[in-house]
Amino acid sequence: MMTSKQRVLTALRHRTPDRVPIDFGSTATTGVHVACVAQLRDHYGLARHPVKVCEPYQMLGEIEPDLLEAMGVDTVSLPSPKTIFGFRNEQWREFRTPWGQDVLVSKHFVTSQDANGDVLLYPEGDRQAPASGRMPATGYFFDAIIRQQPIDEERLNPQDNLEEFGPVSEPDLAYYREQARLLADSDRAVVGGVGGTAFGDIALVPAPFLKHPKGIRDVAEWYISTATRRDYVHAIFEAQCEMALANLAKVHAAIGNVLDVIFVCGTDFGTQSSSFCSTATFDELYEPYYRRINDWIHSHTTWKTFKHSCGAVAAFIPHFIAAGFDILNPVQCSAAGMDPQTLKNRFGDHLVFWGGGVDTQQTLPFGTPAEVRAQVLERCRIFSRGGGFVFDTIHNVQAKTPVANIVAMLDAVREFNRAGAGVP
């Protein structure tokens, strides 16, 4: 019987492991909402206590080792030193969410409440700065607050969009070393990231981690800029890429090959039915920088590179492969042109599908347990053939998803594996 690490690594080599490997909680796009984590702990009879919010933007909950075991998860996270709001997760304290759940948050999770009852969250925990995140009073996660200053074309400077990029700090390197020490003997596959490798990720453009962001920080304005200010964007990506390569070398020296999979970039190229740009734009604006990052990683490490992109990206997949990516997530099969059997037939020998296991827009939150089971079994049958598949939902498990459906999903993967479908 394989260890979890062996199982994942075998699938990443496009070979058939002893069973389909499972990921939950290793990245910010493969997580579980903190409310659902608490419900899963109750379902499996695990100790009751407030769940840690490990990723505050989407309010993802920490999946502790006892729950990883109960869920059959084969991965573990090497977390980033700081959250998307620019603070470290440390010195935990209790916080009551708008939906009434007591959770644990970092002492730097500093909030206020506006007249509407919305929760405002502050960058680096500094209430002297403008709030950078808003959770509606009836919401379950934060939205970024756009804080872009008026644009003066005469004074627009790419350096303004490079404030967040710089040499990795000594405290952060010390953090990476300590995490690597803690994970060195893990029998689960280790998944993590190194800051600065995401080019144009729209979740990062508003810079919720900066107190006073400069440059182009409005989402719509950024998309416009990729067409109308392309030289400006190239200048950002070029400088960002150079810094990322230098930081990759430093972090690799600190952690070695403890890391198995690196989350490189979460930039979305697909919508539900179309795309945010053409493949020609991808090749001209994004591919050169992705290739440099992927080439460095493949030349200097054993890490596999992970590309997240939601939406209808079938036309982009050959370009992701050409840019050097090993893994695609979340495999949004509900989007146009993303038929699972077609994806596996066309690209299964060249790209690992990490996700696609069940639809989180309709089936998992709104279907019956029987419907969840049927879809999971079908997706496992399609994607697991010949390896190259790590089971996960299509993006994070959202709040208010019935725990019975989450359990039905996990039970269906076990059922598939018991049937021997994953055995060579």
pLDDT of residue 423: 43
Q: Is residue 121 part of a domain?
A: no
User: Which tens digit of pLDDT belongs to each residue from 76-108?
Assistant: 999 999 999 999 999 999 999 999 999 999 999
* Domain interval for residue 382: 4-48+60-86+148-418
Q: Which of 27, 23, 32 minimizes the C-alpha distance to 5?
A: 23
Q: Is residue 135 part of a domain?
A: no
Q: Is residue 29 part of a domain?
A: yes
pLDDT of residue 420: 74
Q: Is residue 10 part of a domain?
A: yes
- In a 10 Å sphere around its CB, with 0-12 CB exposed, 13-18 middle and 19+ buried, how is residue 127 labelled? exposed
> How many CA within 13 A on the CB side of residue 314?
18
pLDDT of residue 245: 98
Distance CA 85, CA 123 (A): 5
User: Which tens digit of pLDDT belongs to each residue from 211-226?
Assistant: 999 999 999 999 999 9
Q: Is residue 319 part of a domain?
A: yes
| Domain count of the fold of the chain | 1
Q: Is residue 120 part of a domain?
A: no
Q: Residue 31 maps to which CATH number? A: 3.20.20.210
CA angle 10, 11, 16 (to 5 degrees): 80
Q: Which of 172, 197, 192 minimizes the C-alpha distance to 77?
A: 192
Distance CA 424, CA 263 (A): 29
Low-confidence ranges of the chain (pLDDT < 70): 421-424
Q: Is residue 127 part of a domain?
A: no
Q: Is residue 97 part of a domain?
A: no
Distance CA 358, CA 342 (A): 16
Strand partners, 77: 191
Distance CA 380, CA 375 (A): 9
